[in-house]
Structure formats: structure tokens, C-alpha cells
């Protein structure tokens, strides 16, 4: 085990926050650490050259802070455990399955290993595309089990953090700042692709993909590839946009959402495009069914922004037609043409491995980390079976609360509004995850927003019980809060 420079810096910050910080500030530390997707905090050469990313390392400090003797909020922790019981079951089965199931089905099924060998190790492209090996227990089972444990712990700790007074404000501000940093480093990765500072942060044991196409450098920030940059940015965008339309710190969340949306549009990330298009459809349908979802002034701002964007594109097409044409060709290459590429064919094959593992294990799964998928859905099916699918889908519905009015119409209470925004992040992120996740772990950032969504709206809905006596105006306010 080797602590990197990034990990050492995190250790110092985490220790200081343990001594002098609060639980919400430690949660903010976790969110900031999520920026370093291509980094390693701790190298683990003893278990297959694995590494612990910064966000997982920060999650350890968050857990310690919540469980720190003398400062444990027992009622909040108990409520967090109850609220996240489905995720606890999901992770518990995942950990037990990661240990037992690969041994139970060892040698009985061909799988794609989590660590794919380089192309030059194969005789042909076809062998590389359909390369498999017999199922055996590996270090990746342990690694994935640890990641799953980190995810559920963050969900619980995020719930506890958001029970603190005004913690929702810190959450919104932190996400806004992280979004702006994400935009800046994304632009820097294009403007100065060989920047030594960005290269320093790409010290993780991940394949650093060539992010260029016909002279254009794709936006990837400090992530190993553009898709990781886009997927992370999409989750932040949904949260900020939802906060903006719900009038939560609009002067902060609106501009940040706009800047991040433009960056995602320029990223050429197919995952980001898929997420943005699917989310736009969801927002449109929501506005049709619930007209009060979008205020008139928000519609006017969106319309004006869209018109301005189209005017800029039209002007650029006139003044720089060749540049616009080449950029459009690059977007086409990484979106429409990608569905017919060798990479798409390989990812479809990986996805089918999960479905086959589900059938051949009779719905039990073959263990988390036993194979590489390209879809969160088939990854859960193949590795954790029926139990995993039922627990995760039920948990997602519990977080999203599709039958609650505040999911679609902004409530008066800003806490409930932020909780609803967080729930939309979890729900909308399932679209890119369904075509781009290699493991059954939904991730720490998903856990942050899931914990926030569960903490904020239930806490608000219980308020009427404490203010039952009051004048008619108070009763009306109580009714509005209950609808949240």
C-alpha cells in the first residue's frame, strides 16, 4: 500500500476536518474529491495493481467523522439506517456474493474480466472484441465489494449530514463550485492538453485514453476519458438545473448550470449527450403533465438562451464554416457513428455477459466484480441476481418518490426543493449508467445525492406534526409543507 501525494494532501485535509470541521463540511470534502476521477489516493499493488480513488478515501474520513465518539447523532444515524435499509441489503448481498459466488460458479461460465488486456496482446480485432476467460475469484471481487461498502456508508453519512441546520445550503454551494471547477479544468484540458498540472492528477491505475480526433482534442479534464468527464458533469448539471427551476439560490445555480451545460455540449461525450437529451425529454414531459413545474420567467430565460445559442452557431457557420463542419463531423463520429463501431459492438457483448450470467446462475448472480459489463442494469443482474435488482430498483423508487408532488412541482420549503433536485439526479443518472457502467456499484456521488434526497424531504414532511395548532394561515402553510 502506497500513499500518493494526492492521498497525502487528502489525509491532511481530512484530519483537519476531523478535528475542527462538521459533518456537512466533511461531506463537501467528499464532493470536491469526486473531481479527481483519474487520480489515485492510495496505490494497492498487492491486489492486482488496484488503487483507491480520492472520493473513496474522502468517504473514509466522512464515515469516521459521523461515527466519532462523543459526537454521534444517534437519532439521525438511526433514521439514516432505516431510510437506507434497502441499499444496506443491496450492498450486504453484493459483498457476500463477491466472496462466495465466484467460487460457487468457478469455471462454469466465460466472462470478460474487469481488467481488459491491451489490444496488442491479441492476434486480431475480433479476438480482442470477444475475449473472455473462465470465471475465477480475483482481486477485483474484493475491490468491488469495498467500493460497494463505501457507497452505502456515504449514503448513510450524507443523510446524517443533511439533518444539520442549513446543510442543504452548503450542499448547493459546494456542487456549484465543483461544477465551475469542472468546467475550468475541462477547458484547460482542451486549451493546454499536455498541461503538467492536469497530468499530475491523472496518476490513477486507469487506461488514459487518447482524447483526440483529427486534430481536435476532446474535453476530459482530469478524467481518464471524455465519457467519464461527461458522466460526472451531467449529474452536477441536473442538480443545479433542478435547483434553478425550483428557485433555490437561482443567481448561483442558474449561471453554473448554464456554464456546465455549455461545457458538456462541447465535450463530445456520448454519455453526456445521451444524458442531456433524455433529461430534456423528461423535463418536457414533466412540464406538459404538471404545467406549474416551470415558472414563466424560467421558460423565458430558457427560450432566450436557446435563441442566443442558435444565433452564435449560425454566425460561426458563416464566419468559420470549415471549423464548424469539422466539429460537427467529430460529434457525429462520437455519437451516431459510434453505435456501429467496434467499441459499440464490444460493449454490447459485455452487456450480454451479464444477462447470460443471470440465466446460468439461476438468478443468484456470479458475484460483484466477477465480470466487466457496460450497463449498470446487466452488471447488477449478472453479479447480484434477482435480489440485487429488486433491492436497487426499490431503493431508487424510494429516493425518487414518483408519487410525491414535490418530485414534479417545486415546494415552498427550500429543503424539500433541494431534496427533490437530488432525487432527480439519482433518477436521471440511470440513463447514462444503463449504457456505460462496468460494475454494479452506482457510485459514491449517487450515494451523496440519494442520502440527501432521503434526508431532506422526509424531514420536511414531518414538520406539520409539530405545528398542528395555529391560525388558518399556518394551517395552509402546514398543508403546503406536507405536500412536499
Confidence of residue 342 (pLDDT cuts 50, 70, 90): low
DSSP state of 118: P
What is the domain range of residue 85? 2-483
Tally of domains in the chain = 1
Q: What CA–CA distance (Å, rounded) separates 336 from 100? A: 41
Neighbours of 224 (CB within 10 A): 19
What is the three-state SS of 30-80?
A: HHHHCCCCCCCCEEEHHHCCEEECHHHHHHHHHHHHHCCCCCCCHHHHHHH
- Provide Rg for the chain, Cα atoms: 23
Question: Comparing C-alpha atoms, which of 225, 239, 305, 236 is closest to residue 267?
Answer: 225
pLDDT in tens, 271-290: 888 899 899 999 989 988 88
Strands 42-44 and 133-134: unpaired
Q: How far is CA 22 from the centre of its chain?
A: 24
* Residue 213 contacts residue 334 (beta carbons within 8 Å): yes
Q: What is the pTM of this model?
A: 0.87
pLDDT in tens, 236-267: 999 999 999 999 999 999 999 999 999 998 88
Surface-to-core class of residue 196, CB atoms within 10 Å of its CB (0-12 exposed, 13-18 middle, 19+ buried): exposed
Beta-carbon contacts of 39 under 8 Å, excluding residues fewer than 6 positions away, are: 4, 6, 53, 54, 201, 202, 203, 204, 222
Between the alpha carbon of residue 148 and those of residues 95, 144, 443, 466, the distances in Å are: 7, 6, 8, 37
pLDDT in tens, 190-243: 877 666 677 777 776 655 454 555 555 677 888 878 888 999 999 999 999 999
Amino acid at each position: 500500500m502506497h500513499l500518493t501525494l494526492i492521498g497525502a494532501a487528502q489525509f491532511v485535509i481530512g484530519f483537519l476536518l476531523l478535528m475542527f470541521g462538521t459533518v456537512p463540511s466533511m461531506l463537501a470534502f467528499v464532493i470536491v474529491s469526486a473531481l479527481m476521477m483519474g487520480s489515485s489516493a492510495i496505490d494497492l499493488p498487492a491486489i492486482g495493481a488496484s488503487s483507491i480513488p480520492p472520493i473513496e478515501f474522502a468517504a473514509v474520513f466522512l464515515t469516521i467523522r459521523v461515527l466519532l465518539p462523543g459526537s454521534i447523532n444517534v437519532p439521525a444515524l438511526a433514521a439514516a439506517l432505516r431510510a437506507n435499509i434497502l441499499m444496506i441489503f443491496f450492498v450486504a448481498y453484493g459483498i457476500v456474493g463477491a466472496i462466495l459466488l465466484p467460487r460457487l460458479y468457478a469455471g462454469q461460465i466465460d466472462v470478460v474480466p474487469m481488467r481488459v488486456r491491451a489490444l496488442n496482446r491479441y492476434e486480431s480485432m475480433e479476438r480482442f472484441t470477444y475475449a473472455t476467460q473462465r470465471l475465477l475469484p480475483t482481486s477485483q471481487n474484493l475491490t468491488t465489494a469495498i467500493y460497494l461498502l463505501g457507497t452505502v456508508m456515504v449514503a448513510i453519512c450524507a443523510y446524517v449530514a443533511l439533518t444539520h441546520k442549513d446543510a442543504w445550503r452548503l450542499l448547493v454551494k459546494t456542487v456549484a463550485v465543483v461544477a465551475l471547477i469542472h468546467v475550468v479544468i475541462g477547458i484547460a484540458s482542451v486549451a493546454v492538453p499536455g498541461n503538467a498540472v492536469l497530468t499530475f492528477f491523472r496518476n490513477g491505475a486507469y487506461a488514459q485514453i487518447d482524447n483526440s480526433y483529427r486534430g481536435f482534442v476532446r474535453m476530459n479534464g482530469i478524467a481518464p476519458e471524455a465519457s467519464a468527464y461527461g458522466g460526472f458533469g451531467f449529474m452536477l448539471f441536473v442538480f443545479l438545473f433542478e435547483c434553478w427551476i425550483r428557485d433555490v439560490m437561482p443567481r448561483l445555480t442558474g449561471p453554473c448550470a448554464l456554464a456546465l451545460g455549455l461545457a458538456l455540449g462541447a465535450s463530445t461525450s456520448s454519455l453526456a449527450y445521451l444524458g442531456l437529451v433524455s433529461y430534456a425529454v423528461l423535463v418536457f414531459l414533466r412540464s406538459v403533465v404538471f404545467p406549474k413545474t416551470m415558472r414563466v420567467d424560467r421558460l423565458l430565460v430558457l427560450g432566450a438562451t436557446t435563441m442566443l445559442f442558435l444565433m452564435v452557431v449560425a454566425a460561426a457557420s458563416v464566419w468559420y464554416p470549415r471549423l464548424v463542419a469539422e466539429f460537427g463531423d467529430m460529434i457525429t463520429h462520437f455519437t451516431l457513428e459510434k453505435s456501429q463501431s467496434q467499441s459499440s459492438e464490444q460493449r454490447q457483448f459485455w452487456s450480454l455477459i451479464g444477462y447470460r450470467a443471470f440465466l446460468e446462475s439461476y438468478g443468484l448472480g456470479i458475484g460483484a466484480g466477477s465480470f466487466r459489463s457496460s450497463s449498470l442494469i446487466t452488471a447488477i443482474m449478472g453479479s447480484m441476481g434477482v435480489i440485487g435488482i429488486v433491492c436497487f430498483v426499490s431503493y431508487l423508487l424510494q429516493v425518487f418518490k414518483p408519487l410525491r408532488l414535490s418530485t414534479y412541482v417545486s415546494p415552498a420549503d427550500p429543503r424539500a426543493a433541494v431534496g427533490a433536485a437530488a432525487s432527480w439526479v439519482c433518477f436521471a443518472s440511470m440513463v447514462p449508467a444503463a449504457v456505460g457502467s462496468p460494475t454494479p456499484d452506482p457510485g459514491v456521488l449517487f450515494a451523496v445525492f440519494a442520502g440527501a434526497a432521503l434526508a431532506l424531504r422526509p424531514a420536511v414532511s414531518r414538520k406539520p406534526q409539530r405545528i398542528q395548532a395555529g391560525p388558518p394561515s399556518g394551517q395552509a402553510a402546514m398543508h403546503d409543507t406536507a405536500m412536499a
